[in-house]
Structure formats: C-alpha cells, structure tokens
Structure 1
Amino acid sequence: MVNTQLFKTTSGALAPAANAVNQSGARAYGHDARHRLAQLAATGCMTQTFHADAHTQLDDVLSLAQEVDPVFLAKTAVYARQAGHMKDMPALLAAVLAQRDIALLRPVFGRVIDNGKMLRNFVQILRSGQTGRKSLGTRPKKLVQDWLLRASEQRLLQASIGTAPTLADVVRMVHPKPAEAWRAAWFAWLIGRPFDEAALPPATLAFERFKRVLLSGRTEGATADDLPPVPFQMLTALPLNGDHWARIAAQGSWQMVRQNLNAFARHGVFDRPGMTDQLAARLRDPKAVASARVLPYQLMTAFNAAADVPAAIREALQDAMEAALTNVPAIDGQVVVCPDVSGSMSSSVTGWRGTATSTVRCIDVAALVAAALVRKNPGCRVMPFEHSVVKVALNPRDSVMTNAAKLAAVGGGGTSVSAPLKQLNQERASVDLVVIVSDNESWVDARRHGATETMVQWSAIKARCPKAKLVCIDIQPGATTQALERDDVLNVGGFSDAVFRIVGDFAAGDTRAGHWVREIEGVTLDPQ
C-alpha cells in the first residue's frame, strides 16, 4: 500500500520545491544574482542584524558585485543612491566598479558621490582594501580631486563635518591643486596650514571672526544676528546662548530640525516666543516633507525620541507622517496585511551600530506599513503573526502613529510566515491582495521536503481565489524568500514610501514580478 504520509494529497496547484536555505536553517527560495544584489543594494545596512552579521552581508555584496555584469553594477549603484537613498551601499558598489571597470565609474561617480559624506565613504571603502585595492589609483583620485575643485564653499563646509576619514584627511591624500585663491586658502585652513584670512570665502571668514569674538567673551559681533552661515555642527562646540540656538533652529533645513528637536529643547528654543509654532509649521508642511525625501521610519524615529518637546511639535510630526505616506495606495477588493511580530523583529531596523543604533525596530516598521495600509484602506484586515496569528483591534480613523504603536506593542515567539495564510484557508476567506511584512526568516513552519509551507498555503488560496496576489515585503537584507516570485507573487524590500507605490502598481496589474531588476535596468548612464 502506498505511503500516504509521503504521498499526501494537498489542496491547490502543485507548489514549486524550495531550492535554498534561509539564515534560520529552514527551506526557502533563492533569488538570482541580480535580484539578490538589487535587494541588498536597496535594503542592506551592512551591520549586525538578528540573522546576519556585517561581514556576512559585506561578503555577499562583494561576491554578487563580481557576479553581475559591470553595467548592471553601475546602474545598481545609481539606483541605490538616487531611488533607495542609501549611503554605504552605493559607495561600496562604486568602489567595486573602480576595480572592475574604471571607465564606467566616471558616468556613475557624480550621481552616487553627491555630497561630502558620500565622498568620505567612497575614499574609506577604497582604502580599506575590501574591494581589492588599498590605494585610490590614478583615475579615482582624479575624480575625488575634481569633486573638491568644483564643490562650492557650502558643500565643502558640509563635507568637513564627520570623521573616518575627515575631509582634511582626504585633501591630504589627493593633493588638489586649486586655481582660485579662495579655494587654496580654504584647503590650507582645513588642514591646519598657514593661510591668508582675507582670502577665505565669505562664510568661512565670518565663522573665523565670529568664533574669535565669542571666545574672547565680548558680545559685540557675536550676537544671533552675526551667526555665520555655516553648518550648525561647527557652532555647537562654542559657548552659544539661547538666542544663538533659536536662530540656528529658525535657519535649519527640514531634516536638521527633525534630527535636533531634543537639542533645541535642552537649549530653551521652544521657550522663545513663537518658536514652537514656527518649527511645528515647518515640520508639517507637505512640500517641505516631500522636498526633504524623508523616509517614514525616520519620522517614527523622531516621534519616538521627542519625549521632551512641546505637544505641538509631536502633533506636527504625526501630520508630517501623513504627508510622507501620500504614496500609500487605495486598493480595490479585499486586502489583508500581515505584519511579523515575532521575536526576531525586535532588532534594530538598520542593524546594530553601537551608540548610533537606531531605536526603530523591525517590528516598528512592519507595524507602520500595516497601519498606513489600514489608514488608506479602511476595510483592510490586519493579521499580525508570530508562530500563529495574534488578535489586535485597530481603528482605521486613528493616526498612523497610534495604530503602529498598538501593533508594535505585540511581540515575541517564533516566525511562521505561513500562519496568516493558513488561517485564511481554514476560514475559506476570499482575498484579492495579501501583503506580508517580515524579515522572511520563517522556521516554525519549516518543511523537510518540497515547497515551503508559505507556498503550499498560497497555492491553496489561489485555488479558491484565482486572481489573488501576494506581496512579501522584506525589511532587512536577505538572499531568500518564503514565496517564489512569479506573476502572482512579488518580493520587495525596504521601508521607504516607494514600497507603497510598488504594492499599489502590482495590485492594479501595472507591475510584474522582477520589478527591481527592471527598474535598475531602466537607469540610464551618462555618456562617458
């Protein structure tokens, strides 16, 4: 008699067999090299996460960067910076390109190395030896020199903020030869050599004079009206008063204000007449939010950290969150969103970075995605899961922040990505779109052979709901997924508002599987 345990009849179409193992040791589906590189480039943090250490992620990226063709590598670097707003990853890919195809580096360089921090990242990565060389080399050195010789005074001042390496280290390394007197004086000032103060450009000259007067103890020439137009980090080591701090806040960029709310509170900025209303108005301004390219999770970071600021500022951050989520789609049909609330989701979303580790956890981002979809789709069903589905009641009229906090308060247990799909099958529920937000490291539901449990359960749903679609959002880097990508299954990574646009397009039939690779292939490279 046939062994019915081996040849058990399952509902739905035959699910494809898994071909890889995830970081938890369970069966999964592997992405091809281009998709894996695209995913890591868009979401990779190259720091310690719950499932992978920084060196493993770096090794994966370096291996994949050698495996794909140089043109795709170049386009991925541009995409990671301009669309993904990543920092370390595009600099790393540009550094690999310097070793693989130096001719392609020139059209990519200016689009990836678009500010001083990126320049310092690029130099540090090249000199580390991780990409196969420890020197810049003639052509990369020339590109760095050109950046230094073309940058405005303000860009140079901003680039001078930060270490490892400092901009002074970079200047000493590449020896730029400026044609302008002001630039020669500025470089000498930067690296601590004798300089002609009268030749310094206006902002740097004003800073030097302001600092000299302030440190002398005099007030004339060092009032808030005399504050030099330099990055505020250059001023904070000076003995500033409340008027100075209020002026810094009033003149700061949107992102700078968001990042320094607690510092402003400590220095009495919100005690100044009108300052609370002024800063709140700027934070909630939809145009300013869009221009700042703020990621939704960054607003969550600011909101969670801003404990000592006025209520009006916290309310403005909630309004800014609503503005930042304009790409959240209204989707026809029955939508189900499934945020992973298992124990692994308690790790920092950008990985462990020592004292710079983000307070925002993976579970916070998963909750944010779910709450945002509920806000735009009031009939959306939410099924948080760990080893099984957890019951949580959400009010679609509550703010995104409020509902996200409710979901993030749930947590613990093992990961079973298939759990919400299994419950939908048990209920014989009708669905049009299922969105799973997870780190994709399912192990509780691991099967020894054949397909993953997620694909088995999804196949059963498809048998009942032929037009249903599944989106798996992976919010941390990984080389595998629990659901094989195909016309009805989309794997997408990251936690920017662009994810919502992609989900909406896929639900409407405007995006097919493999969208990341196609978007990267659509990047045009400037003529060499």
Structure 2
Amino acid sequence: MANKTLFSSALARFLPRADTVNEAGGKAYAYGPEALLAQLAATGTLSDGFYAHAEGQLAKALEAARAVDPLWVAKCAVYARQSGAMKDMPALLAALLSVVEPDLMVPVFRRVVDNGRMLRTFVQIMRSGQVGRTSLGSRPKRLVREWLENASIRQLMQAATGNDPSLADIVKMVHPAPASAERRAFYGWLIGKPYDVAALPAEIAAFEAWKADRSRPLPDVPFEWLTAFDLTPKQWAVMAERMGWQALRMNLNMLARKGAFQIDGVTQAVAARLADAEAMAKVRPAPYQLMTALGQVGEGVPLLVQAALETALDASLARVPKLEGHVVVCPDVSGSMGSPATGYRKGATSVVRCIDIAALVAAAMLRSNPQTRVLPFEVDVVPLKLDPKARVAVNAAKLAGVGGGGTCVSAPLALLNREKAKVDVVVIVSDNESWLDPSRRGATATMNEWTRLKARNPGAKLICIDIQPYGTAQAKDRKDIMNVGGFTDAVFDTMARFANGTARDWTQVVNEVEIGMN
C-alpha cells in the first residue's frame, strides 16, 4: 500500500491557500458574501466583541447584505429570527430591505417583528439613518401601524415595557386607528392624552386604581411595571405566578430576595412551571440560558427550583442528535472565549461567555453519545476527564473552568493524527480566531491536519461551529467540511443533517427558508 503520509503531504500542496488574516492576526479563509451574511445574521449582536467593535460589525453586515441578492437577505433575516432567536440583526436586515427591496420587506417584517421588543428595535434602526433613511416611510409605517392594530391589549402592554423608542413614541409616529373605544382609551392613556376612563382596558384601570390605593389586589400587568414599588412577599408570590416563563427563569434570585419563596406553595408552583414541557415548547429557551441560570442561582433559591432548572436544561437538549461512529468534540477554551457571547454593551452585557456555549455543546453531545471523545484546546489540547453519566451542567462547568491561553484550532486534529485515531465526525466549537497554528504551503494548519486525518479516515466529516461574527474560518467549506454559525439548538439540527448527508452545507439550510410574498 502507498505511504499515506507521503501522499497526504503531496495532496496538501493543492489545498486552498488562506486568503485573509483573521482579527487575531492568523491565517484564515474569508467567508463568501452569502456565507458571511448568514454567519453575521446568526451570531451578530451589534455589540463590541473581544476583537471587533460594534461599528465594524454593523458596517460588515451592511456591506455583505448589499453584496448579495435581496432574497438572500430576506432568508437570512427570517432564519436568524426564527431559528437563531436573534434580535438586532434580523431587525437590521428587515430595515435594509425597506430600502433595497421594499416588496420583500413586507413578508420579512411580518415574520421577524413578532413581539413589541422587535417592533421597537425595527423602528429604532429605521430612524437611525444606518440603512439610508431617517424616517419610517410609507410602507414601513403601514406595517408598524398594522402590527399595532392587530396586537392584543396584552401584547401592547408588553410592548409598552421599554424605551428608545417607547411604544408611546411609536404610536405618535404612525397614528394607528383605534378599532374600539377600549383601544382608543388605551392609546390616550399611553401617550398622555385625554381618554375615557370608563373605556380603559380592565388591566390598565386596575393598575391605576392600585397605584392610588395599594391595599387593592395586585393588578395583572407586566411585572416590570411593578418592580419600582415596595411590594410585600405575598405580592411577589403573585408576581411569580404571572411572570412569563423566561422572566421567571431570569428573576429567581429576585424572588428569593423579596421573600416570595417563604410563601406556602410558591416553591412548588415555580418548580412546576420551570419543568413544564409544554411551556418550554412554546418558549424554546436556549440551553445556554438555562445553564447560566443554574450557575447564577443563589442560596436563597430552593433546591426544588434548582432541580427544576436542571430538568428544563435536559429537556432543552432533547434535540441534540446522536452522531454515529467515532465522534470527537473540540471546544475552544482559549482566552478570547471568555468574552460575552453576545458582546459587550453598556448596561446589557450578557454573563454568558463563548466558552460556556462551547462547553455546553461538548457536554450535551457527550450526554447523547457517551462514546464521544472531548478534546478541549487552547495553545494545545487540555487534558480533562469527563464522566458521560454526569449531569450536563456539571461537565459543562468543568470544561468552562479550564483554558485561557492562545488559540490553536488545529491542535486537536494534530493530536488525533499523532495517535492515528479512527474518526468519523469532528466537531470544533470556536470563535475561529486561531493564530498560533503552524502554517505550511499556503493553507491553514487546520486544513493541513484535516487532510492528513482524511487520508486515514476517508469518510470523516468536519463540522466547525462558529459562535462569533468575525467573518473568517480555519477550514474551507467543501463536501466533507461545514462551517455553521450560531449558538441555539438550530445548530444541532444543521449538524445532524450534514453528518447524515441530507445537507451539503449551512447555506443550503438557510436557503430552504421560504419567503411568501403575500
């Protein structure tokens, strides 16, 4: 048999040359315009990252969007919102379509702007001038008005939580036509104009009455409206019943501080809500959000509630695929992975780090396939023993607690080659800012090491999960290599489809998004 090392070395000469330098100064491959926009849409939060600033991210996103077909912009916007659970980037792309392809903007708006927060974000971006206009314009104004007119009173109340712009600002801009006396009274109350008190929605009337007399029952309004008031533990217990699922997850420590869990039955009720599979199916919390909630719960949060969070985490990972064969997962644990996953933003920086997401992916795959090998890496592979039977949160915390050095994405592949390991699927979870790799023959070290590995394992596939919007990769897309961006459970689905051969690459998955024009 021919010498595999010799012939893999010869083949390496024909590998694609690295065509750019990443933010860390290492050799890399630039994404093409379509892949770049998809990656930015799925990971971009328009906030400062470890290597790049928000302004640069915005400029890169707009440049990429203008370089592709508007239909692709529309598909990326819908994918990012509905599969990637992103906020700012889908709103930005919808706003851009209002300038470059107004007809496409209509169906995209209706699928992307699905709550009050998204409505406010869209209006803010439209008025900022970043997409080429400083006003809404007739068609966007009509769509915003349509959203307001079709929203329920409860949806409008939720939308009225937040500023810059506030819902009152938006109502003043677009002048929605109230279809009922109740709606007319609500708009008047919202913007500070005269209104018919008798026609107010019951919830708003109760809120105004309660503000005048705090002995009344707690009004059924968004809990954010009430947090500025001095509430009793019993009132906080009522709040715990009324909060949305995500708000409940995020405010467990506050409920503990305010004494809500001291009220009989509250602990059991909160635990039941958090573990409710039907409620989770509607909300679809990201697994990393639940892991973070587990890591942040204080001593005052009852153990029963903490156990319910673990149940919720396991349920959120039910869709993690079991990849067949010899699977290796390589989470990047280098220094840059300690940065917030959604970037730095004054007053709103996420506590979820990139390393937390990488660790969770690895721990989840180990849970679904106990034979999975986990190779965390920074400058080199970091030795770490994990128990496949341990709770996902335990293994994820172990992984997130190691590392901190430079980045060498090729390190785990080099180790597998030194071991002459048998491999079917390799999954690398990283920010792709590799700079310590030894580079040869124009290709990145990752491509060179993958070529050596493929010489021994011709059917092997490489999946690179990119969780930061920097726009470069260490491996070039081809039939055995896929780069996918994002950090929600949609990535697991895409990964499974590629591994079993039902998807060529990530752009194919995004391209399957249908945009109706009616």
Question: TM-score scaled by structure 2?
Answer: 0.96
Q: Does 1:258 align with 2:249?
A: yes
Where does residue 183 of structure 2 map in the other structure?
183
- Matching residue's letter, 1:320: A
Per mean C-alpha deviation after superposition, the further-off stretch among 332-341 and 178-187 is 178-187
Where does residue 525 of structure 1 map in the other structure?
515
Specify every segment of 5 or more residues in structure 2 that has no aligned partner in the other structure, as ranges: 1-5
Where does residue 478 of structure 1 map in the other structure?
470
Where does residue 3 of structure 2 map in the other structure?
none
Report the secondary structure of 1:86's partner residue: coil
Give the alignment partner of residue 436 of structure 1, picking from 428, 435, 438: 428
Where does residue 110 of structure 2 map in the other structure?
110
**Structure 1 residue 335, shift from structure 2 partner:** 0.7
- Structure 1 distance, partners of 2:186, 2:151, is 12
Q: Deviations over 1:113-157 (max 9, x none)?
A: 111111110111011111111111121112112222221111110
- Structure 1 distance, partners of 2:314, 2:517, is 40
Per mean C-alpha deviation after superposition, the further-off stretch among 421-430 and 101-110 is 101-110
**Structure 1 residue 188, shift from structure 2 partner:** 1.0
- Structure 1 distance, partners of 2:456, 2:8, is 16
**Structure 1 residue 178, shift from structure 2 partner:** 2.1
- Matching residue's letter, 1:29: Y
Give the alignment partner of residue 224 of structure 2, picking from 217, 230, 233: 233
Contact 1:27 1:446 in 2 (8 A): no
Where does residue 86 of structure 2 map in the other structure?
86
Where does residue 390 of structure 1 map in the other structure?
382
- Matching residue's letter, 1:144: V
Where does residue 336 of structure 2 map in the other structure?
344
Contact 1:348 1:362 in 2 (8 A): yes
- Structure 2 distance, partners of 1:9, 1:41, is 36
**Structure 1 residue 376, shift from structure 2 partner:** 1.0
Where does residue 192 of structure 2 map in the other structure?
192
- Structure 2 distance, partners of 1:161, 1:479, is 34
Where does residue 172 of structure 1 map in the other structure?
172
- Structure 2 distance, partners of 1:448, 1:26, is 13
Where does residue 95 of structure 2 map in the other structure?
95
- Matching residue's letter, 1:520: V
**Structure 1 residue 294, shift from structure 2 partner:** 0.2
Q: Deviations over 1:500-522 (max 9, x none)?
A: 22222222222222x3x223322
Q: Does 1:155 align with 2:155?
A: yes
- Structure 2 distance, partners of 1:446, 1:121, is 44
Give the alignment partner of residue 418 of structure 1, picking from 410, 419, 429: 410
Q: Does 1:380 align with 2:379?
A: no
Q: Deviations over 1:329-353 (max 9, x none)?
A: 1122111111111111111111101
- Matching residue's letter, 1:92: L
- Matching residue's letter, 1:312: L
Q: Does 1:298 align with 2:300?
A: no
Give the alignment partner of residue 307 of structure 1, picking from 277, 283, 298: 298
- Matching residue's letter, 2:75: K
Per mean C-alpha deviation after superposition, the further-off stretch among 432-441 and 187-196 is 187-196
Report the secondary structure of 1:393's partner residue: coil
Where does residue 331 of structure 1 map in the other structure?
323
- Matching residue's letter, 1:10: S
- Matching residue's letter, 1:443: W
Report the secondary structure of 1:354's partner residue: coil
Report the secondary structure of 2:213's partner residue: helix
Report the secondary structure of 1:355's partner residue: coil
**Structure 1 residue 193, shift from structure 2 partner:** 1.6
**Structure 1 residue 245, shift from structure 2 partner:** 0.9
Q: Deviations over 1:213-247 (max 9, x none)?
A: 21xxxx2xx1xxx3322111112223321111101
Question: TM-score scaled by structure 1?
Answer: 0.94
Report the secondary structure of 1:237's partner residue: coil
Contact 1:182 1:200 in 2 (8 A): yes
Q: How many residues align?
A: 511
Report the secondary structure of 2:114's partner residue: coil
RMSD between aligned residues: 1.6
- Matching residue's letter, 2:467: I
Q: Deviations over 1:54-93 (max 9, x none)?
A: 1111001111111111122122212211111111111100
Where does residue 494 of structure 1 map in the other structure?
486
- Structure 1 distance, partners of 2:344, 2:381, is 28
- Structure 1 distance, partners of 2:67, 2:372, is 41
Contact 1:300 1:360 in 2 (8 A): no
Contact 2:8 2:451 in 1 (8 A): no
Where does residue 457 of structure 1 map in the other structure?
449
